[in-house]
Amino acid sequence: MTAILRARLTQQPLWEFALAFYGQQGVEQACLALQDQASVDVCELLWRCWLLYHGAVPGPTAEEGLVDALRWQREVTAPLRRLRRRLKQEACVRPGVAELRKTLKHAELQAERETLCRLERLALTASPAALTPAPSASVRGADKVLANALGLQKKTHLSTLHTLIASLDPPPAPR
């Protein structure tokens, strides 16, 4: 990783990028659709978008390190999300359950923030070869890179992914 890329990533931490990006029109819906319909991990997706926005993609070393963050998501974040979702109906009629659901939502967000911290650390502290320049500055190239990394093939999923890429405003050239 070049010193310029490291400086750019440090100047815009992943958490700040994720909040700003997720808040853009259509991004939240696209992320949740990919999560629910294609089993895409939203934190991984946001990490990849953050890197792509700065003109980089994970190399083999970073991909290997991703396993630990995804384990955290499976073992900590996903159970919190399942329980929160399971309580949605009951929370409408029971104030105590509504309060519990609110607590679970906060815990889920904290778990996701921890995942993003782990992913950011992976990008910033891994070997110089952990990140490589993004292969294409075009939206089409970015779509292909992310679709391959996330294992997306269905047209509906690719269309949703395209919505996200278009929101990166504009996809930058590799640095």
Q: pTM above 0.85? A: yes
On the question of pLDDT at 70 being above 60, the answer is yes
CB 5 within 8 Å of CB 131 = yes
pLDDT score of 138: 57
Of the pLDDT bands very low, low, confident and very high (cuts 50, 70, 90), residue 147 is: very high
At residue 37, the pLDDT reads 95
Q: b/e for 111-135, b at 16 or more Cβ within 10 A?
A: bbbbbbebbbebbbebeeebbbbbe
The pLDDT mean for the chain works out to 89
